[in-house]
């Protein structure tokens, strides 16, 4: 079977499971799974661990980004400082903050925490590569 047909079948099954009611899904699972309680417990563990890993990775990105901004402030690199100023202007609680030198790591984390970290990291990396 070619890959296009397989992907269409997978998509159809996915859509079916999205639209099916919980009882129908449980009946189908009972046919394939001997111990539904063990399956449910294992599923919850996997979901919990995946969320924990995602949060950990997000926090690592956040700390890395805060360090890069802090280094840029100390070295007075124009592009990252201007990015940070834009973020400060968009964040109402920090809008009146004009002394970037006195921003602590926690302040920087607070400013960038709700932003797209990947985009910010790419902007900073691009700036480092340009110099």
Per-residue model confidence (pLDDT) at position 17: 81
- Weakly modelled stretches of the chain, pLDDT under 70: 1, 81, 84, 87-103, 113-118, 125-131
DSSP alpha helix (H) spans, 20-35: 22-32
66 by Cβ neighbours in 10 Å (0-12 / 13-18 / 19+) ranks as: buried
Rounded to 5°, angle at Cα 66 from 61 and 68:
95
Per-residue model confidence (pLDDT) at position 83: 73
Per-residue model confidence (pLDDT) at position 20: 84
In Å, the largest CA–CA distance within the chain is: 65
| Residue from 64, 51, 56 nearest 109 by CA | 64
**d(Cα 83, Cα 106) in Å, to the nearest integer?**
17
Quick one: CA dihedral 8, 12, 13, 18, positive or negative?
Answer: positive
What's phi and psi for 98, nearest 5 deg?
Answer: -110, -20
Provide the residue ranges of all domains of the chain, joining segments of one domain with +.
Answer: 3-55, 56-130
Per-residue model confidence (pLDDT) at position 88: 67
Per-residue model confidence (pLDDT) at position 40: 84
Per-residue model confidence (pLDDT) at position 72: 75
């Amino acid at each position: 079977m070619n890959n296009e047909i397989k992907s269409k079948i997978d998509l159809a099954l996915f859509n079916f499971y999205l639209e099916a009611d919980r009882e129908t899904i449980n009946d189908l699972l009972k046919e394939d799974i001997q111990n539904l309680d063990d399956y449910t417990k294992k599923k919850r563990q996997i979901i919990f661990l995946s969320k924990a890993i995602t949060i950990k990775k997000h926090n690592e990105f956040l700390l890395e980004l805060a360090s890069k901004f802090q280094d840029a402030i100390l070295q007075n690199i124009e592009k990252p400082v201007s990015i940070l100023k834009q973020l400060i202007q968009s964040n109402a609680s920090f809008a009146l903050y004009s002394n970037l030198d006195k921003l602590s790591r926690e302040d920087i984390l607070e400013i960038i925490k709700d932003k797209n970290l990947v985009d910010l990291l790419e902007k900073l990396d691009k700036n480092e590569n340009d110099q």
